[in-house]
């Protein structure tokens, strides 16, 4: 169990969240979380079923007298992003998340927290057994594999859901009602590599980038945070962009939907150029610190001698140049919603295998054709560099419906409770609403959640007061939808 979470109020909500924090549940490895939810349903006398994709649906009877009210689906995803700092020792597949209460905030020690989306799942489950929660017929839809391409949402059994009102609880800004999201898709550039003898008269060095903040590749893509892979390529080309040093290994980034925080490569530098390289790298480090002074003050560039007997990769030059050429960051801002990124792309990961080097990019857009255009750019760059490019099937976005009945109810309720209009907008991230709305036509949806920051990174944290207000708002909205 984590430190202090179970003692927080409301205990029904935070006890379930604490259980989830202690349950390993990475993407595609949600079995323990499924068992927990199914056992919870059985304990509380609710019918539950699991479809072939691994999604769990739990049927909760209406409050007495409200059996004929419109059915409402409360939806969240079970899986979390497993991210940690290099010095943190944890086995995500067996160990609980080291979460703790820090004043008004829940944090972790060097790992992601999993409030995305554990707090949404916990809120739905808590509302279902809260004696003070008045509601019509409820369905809890707990999906899997959201963080790695929304596999659960794509695989939802067509007969799993009855309701046509859905409250998605996978958002991170209190006071904001999300009514749209972007779609997304991955692009992977694959180099079939050839190993050759390392150049004569060279020494091996480990070039490394660390200390970056990273973060969610949708929600934080506009923040100007550094990309460790791009910085590593700048390090390698600091002396000669036309003929950078050969390498035997390069690795950076860990997740498709997280801005990469760390990267390293083992490179071979001519002995006659080592001193010049170190001098140039020192100057580059100073420039990078200025560039990222606000967003990543802890950025660190290092060059360390290493013993290495590995052969070099013949395609090193093409790969370095590709890492400099691939787009990263916001591509187009929305003209409809000021300040909202409409299209972006994240150069997320580079990995070295025995015979291949792979570069993974994750692109997002509110407009399908715009995302296609970005992925076409990545494909062209990859092929020009001599790689093979594989494009995954994209998942759809969620087009805003400003005439939505559930939006109208949520909007009015927020104004009634706070005296302020909520922020109604779309989110530059993938929500399962897009996929579910496509699979179940006519689904009326809105997404909201409590205040949390740093999701998909070890900085992830959750506001406790905001979570309380979010939970109270959820209960009030369920009552309003059932009784108005």
Catalytic residue chosen out of the listed positions 146, 220, 451, 459:
146
Question: Based on the domain organization, do 167 and 271 belong to the same domain?
Answer: no
Q: Report how many domains make up the chain.
A: 2
Q: What is the pLDDT of residue 98?
A: 96
269 backbone dihedrals φ, ψ, rounded to 5°: -115, 135
pLDDT at site 338: 82
**Is the separation of the CB atoms in 262 and 86 below 8 Å?**
yes
Q: What is the pLDDT of residue 424?
A: 94
Q: Is 172 one of the catalytic residues?
A: no
Residues 402 and 387 in one domain: no
Q: Does one domain contain both 122 and 208?
A: no
Residues 92 and 233 in one domain: no
Same-domain check for residues 158 and 193:
no
Q: Does one domain contain both 189 and 337?
A: yes
Which residue range is the domain that position 83 belongs to? 5-182+397-483
Boundary of a domain, candidates 370, 391, 412: 391
Q: What is the spatial distance between Cα 315 and Cα 398, in angstroms, rounded to a whole number?
A: 41
What's the CA gap between 432 and 149, in Å, rounded? 10
pLDDT in tens, 254-311: 989 899 999 999 999 999 999 999 999 999 999 999 999 999 999 999 999 999 989 9
Specify the pLDDT at position 3: 67
The conformational region for residue 215 under phi > 0 = left, psi -120 to 50 = alpha, else beta, is left
Hey, which residues does 453 pair with through a beta bridge? 461
- Separation CA 458–CA 481 (nearest Å): 37
Tell me which residues of the chain have a pLDDT lower than 70: 1-3
Please indicate, yes or no, whether residues 197 and 171 belong to a single structural domain of this protein.
no
Half-sphere exposure of 394 (CA within 13 A, CB side): 23
Q: Give yes or no for a contact between 165 and 71, defined as CB atoms under 8 angstroms apart.
A: yes
Whether the CA torsion 454, 455, 461, 467 is positive or negative: it is positive
CA–CA dist 120, 134 (Å, integer): 18
In this prediction, residue 399 carries a pLDDT of 84
Q: In terms of Cα–Cα distance, which of 61, 57, 40 is closest to 48?
A: 57
The answer for residues whose C-beta is within 8 angstroms of residue 419's C-beta and 6 or more apart is none
Q: Is 79 a catalytic residue?
A: yes
**pLDDT at position 166:** 98
* Contact between residue 41 and residue 48 where contact means Cβ atoms under 8 Å apart: yes
Looking up residue 131, the CATH number of its domain turns out to be 3.40.630.10
Query: Which CATH number does the domain housing residue 219 bear?
Result: 3.30.70.360
- Domain edge (last residue) among 337, 367, 391: 391
**Shared-domain flag, residues 178 and 200:** no
Q: Which of 391, 424, 441 is the last residue of a domain?
A: 391
Are residues 379 and 255 part of one domain? Answer: yes
Overall residue count recorded for the chain in this entry: 484
Residues 115 and 252 in one domain: no
Q: Name the active-site residue from 18, 19, 30, 79.
A: 79
Distance (Å, rounded) from C-alpha 289 to C-alpha 209?
12
β-pair partners for 109:
none
Query: What predicted TM-score, i.e. pTM, was given to this entire model?
Result: 0.77
**Pair 176, 189 in one domain:** no
C-alpha closest to that of 167 among 81, 70, 32: 70
Say if residue 102 is in the same domain as residue 198.
no
Spatial neighbors of 290 by CB under 8 A, at least 6 apart, are: none
Task: Please choose, from the candidates 436, 364, 374, the residue with its C-alpha nearest in 3D space to the C-alpha of residue 394.
Answer: 364
Is residue 82 within 8 Å of residue 92, measured between CB atoms? yes
């Amino acid at each position: 169990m984590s430190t202090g979470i179970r003692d927080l109020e409301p205990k029904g909500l935070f006890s379930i969240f604490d259980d989830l924090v202690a349950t390993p549940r990475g993407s595609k490895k949600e079995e323990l979380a499924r068992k927990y939810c199914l056992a919870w349903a059985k304990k509380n006398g609710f019918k539950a079923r699991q479809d072939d994709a691994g999604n769990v649906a739990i049927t909760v009877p209406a409050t007495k007298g409200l059996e004929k009210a419109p059915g409402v689906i409360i939806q969240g995803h079970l899986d979390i992003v497993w991210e940690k700092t290099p010095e943190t020792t944890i086995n995500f597949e067996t160990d609980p998340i080291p979460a703790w209460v820090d004043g008004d905030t829940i944090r972790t020690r060097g790992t992601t927290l999993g409030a995305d989306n554990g707090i949404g799942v916990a809120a739905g489950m808590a509302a279902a057994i809260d004696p003070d929660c008045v509601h019509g017929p409820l369905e809890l839809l707990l999906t899997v594999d959201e963080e790695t391409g929304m596999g659960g949402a794509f695989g939802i059994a067509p007969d799993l859901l009855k309701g046509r009102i859905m409250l998605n609880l996978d958002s991170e800004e209190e006071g904001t009602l999300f009514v749209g999201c972007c779609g997304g898709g991955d692009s992977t550039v694959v180099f079939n590599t050839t190993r050759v003898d390392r150049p004569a008269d060279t020494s091996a060095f480990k070039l490394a980038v660390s200390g970056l903040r990273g973060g969610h590749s949708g929600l934080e893509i506009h923040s100007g945070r550094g990309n460790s892979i791009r910085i590593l390529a700048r390090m390698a080309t600091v002396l000669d962009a036309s003929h950078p040093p050969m390498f035997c290994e390069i690795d950076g980034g860990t997740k498709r939907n997280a801005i990469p925080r760390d990267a390293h490569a083992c490179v071979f530098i001519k002995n006659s150029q080592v001193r010049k390289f170190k001098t140039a790298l020192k100057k580059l480090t100073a420039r990078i610190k200025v560039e990222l002074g606000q967003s990543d003050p802890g950025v660190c560039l290092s060059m360390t001698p290493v013993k290495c007997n590995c052969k070099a990769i013949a395609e090193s030059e093409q790969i370095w140049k590709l890492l400099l050429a691939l787009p990263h960051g916001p591509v187009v801002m929305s003209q409809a919603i000021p300040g909202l990124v409409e299209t972006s792309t994240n150069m997320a990961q580079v990995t070295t295998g025995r015979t291949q080097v792979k570069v993974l990019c994750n692109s997002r857009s509110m407009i399908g054709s715009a995302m296609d255009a970005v992925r076409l750019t990545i494909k062209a760059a990859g092929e020009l560099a001599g790689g093979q490019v594989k494009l995954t099937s994209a998942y759809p976005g969620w087009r805003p419906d400003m005439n939505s009945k559930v939006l109208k109810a949520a909007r009015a309720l927020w104004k009634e409770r706070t005296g302020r209009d909520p922020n109604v907008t779309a989110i530059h991230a993938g929500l399962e609403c897009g996929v579910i709305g496509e699979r179940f036509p006519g689904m009326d949806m809105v997404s909201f959640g409590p205040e949390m920051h740093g999701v998909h990174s070890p900085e992830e944290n959750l506001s406790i007061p905001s979570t309380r207000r979010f939970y109270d708002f959820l209960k009030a909205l369920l009552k309003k939808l059932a009784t108005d």
